[in-house]
Chains A and B, each alone.
Chain A
Amino acid sequence: MSEFYAFAVEHLPYILEGLPITLGLWVLAMTIGAAFGLVLAWARLYGNTLVYGAATVYVELFRGTPMLVQMLFIYLGLPEVGIVFDPFTAAVIAIGLNTSAYQAEYFRGAIRSIPRGQMQAARAMGMTPLQGLRWIVLPQALRRVIPQWSNEAILELKYTSIAYAIGVSEITARAEKVGYETFMFFEVFLLLALVYIVLTGTVAQVLLYLEKRTAVPGL
């Protein structure tokens, strides 16, 4: 035990230097995912046949195939047609596009769960459909979606480790490097697992706090 402790003290700082990369990947990807997810949800709810169809195909494709394949496609495949990304950007795009498909479905469900009377009352007082969505329906839908969104955010935090496969120097990649230098693979990956448990646990608490802060009676 004390051996492990000494090992941790020695190598944890090096691993944690990758934390800004891990968190950066996560925040950027979640932001892209939220923005694009909202657009997709809008397309699936209110779009004409063409827009609806395109959004549906997108959502089904991204939810039906592995994120690693999507990431390799973007990082290794797109340069064939002249689109080159550095590993970090490729990972942000891959994770962001992937989570947007999932977030779209959560947003869509939440928007649909808001009673029709809310939009009717907004229209009745002279709001345009867009105003009704912006001021009445979305603020309610976004509050309702927080629990699912939190789950998704934690899932994606863990998925940032996939970026290690295309050479992004986040915490998993750094841990592996420590492994190759010390040949203490079990210890280093155990340490890494603990880092992730603390990380996901903390994020879960923060999101729970956010959920409580924004709670409104009756929603």
Chain B
Amino acid sequence: MLLKVENIHKRYDETEVLKGVSLEMETGQSKVIMGPSGTGKSTLLRCINYLTPPDEGRVLVEGTEITSRNLNRMREKLAFVFQDFNLFTHLRAVDNVAIGPRKIRGMSRRAAHELAMRELERVGLSERSHAYPAELSGGQQQRVSIARALAMEPKIILFDEPTSALDPELTGEVIAVMKQLASEGMTMLLVSHEVGFARQAADEIIFMDGGHILEQGPPAQLFDAPQHERTRQFLSRIGQGGEAA
């Protein structure tokens, strides 16, 4: 098992956002977490790489539990793509991608640069390698941030609503890159409402509600034959049939 998340609990003040969530991922799988807003999807993703440390529960990557002591080493295996990109403002696109390999993985300047150029090529942005983040469109920024994640050569990439900060006409380019990664066998865990991606590229959909996983299964089953009333309501709200087949 590549990723094992066990019984994660998280509370903020009085509200318990995550009430014991567990999930597992095999190498090469991609899973999409869906559900109404405020059900703890993003919190779950942040708990997995300890950006928000969980109150209870464990996260294991390749059988090793994440602790405060091995945190930074484990995070290299768990790349994170943010909703609002968080590209490093003072670095050109290529340096945004190269800084992790250089400063964390200890690669030489030259090797890191070459790696960064290859990853930018992979997301189709090699010709914009010398632009600063402020000079890129939102879609381009998100693709650079995916390249930045790839350059760490992670085991898994966690995507936190990667298209929701983008104008509708810019989401396509980002989704295309994610689909390509999924087809190349990258292990991916997403929080996203992109039904198109979920149907075509995901192995499994995880439906969350009220801090729990309500149901999970292959896209065809979950979209076309949901078991729970809440799932049906949610799917019809985002414009997916939801009537039992």
Enumerate chain A interface residues (CB-CB to B < 8 A).
115, 117-118, 120-128, 131, 135-136, 139-140, 143, 216-219
Contacts and interface: CB of A to CB of B under 8 A. Distances in A.
A125 B104 contact: yes
A139 B90 contact: yes
B197 interface: no
Contacts of B104: 125-127, 131
A125 B148 contact: yes
B86 A118 contact: yes
Contact of B89 (A120, A126, A140): A140
A156 B80 CA distance: 45
B51 interface: yes
Contacts of A115: 86
A115 B149 CA distance: 20
B89 A125 contact: no
Interface string B142-170: 00010011001000000000000000000
B148 A120 contact: no
B109 interface: no
Contact of A123 (B51, B99, B134, B148): B51
Contacts of A218: 89, 132-135
A125 B80 contact: yes
Interface residues on B, range: 20 to 34
Interface in B74-109: 74-76, 79-80, 82, 84, 86-90, 99-100, 103-104
A115 B74 CA distance: 25
B135 to A, nearest CB: 5
Q: Tell which of A117, A121, A122 has the most Cβ of chain B within 10 Å.
A: A121
Nearest to A138: B90
A170 B152 CA distance: 55
B51 A217 contact: no
A127 B88 CA distance: 13
Contacts of A120: 51, 82, 86
Nearest to B84: A117
Nearest to B96: A121
Contacts of A126: 72-76, 100, 104, 152
B49 interface: yes
Contacts of A125: 75-76, 79-80, 100, 104, 148-149, 152
Given A218-B133, A218-B134, A127 B86 contact: no
Given A131-B104, A136-B90, 14 more contacts: A117-B86, A120-B51, A121-B87, A121-B145, A125-B76, A125-B100, A125-B104, A126-B100, A127-B72, A128-B72, A136-B99, A140-B90, A217-B132, A219-B89
Contacts of B100: 125-127
Q: Tell which of B79, B86, B134 has the most Cβ of chain A within 10 Å.
A: B86
Given A124-B51, A125-B152, A126-B72, A131 B89 contact: no
B76 to A, nearest CB: 4
B104 to A, nearest CB: 5
B90 A121 contact: no
Nearest to B72: A126
Nearest to A134: B103
Contacts of B148: 125
Contacts of B72: 126-128
Contact of A121 (B73, B76, B82, B103): B82
B31 to A, nearest CB: 19
Nearest to A214: B90
A101 B133 CA distance: 34
Contacts of A128: 72
A118 B149 CA distance: 14
Given A125-B75, A125-B79, A135-B99, A118 B51 contact: no
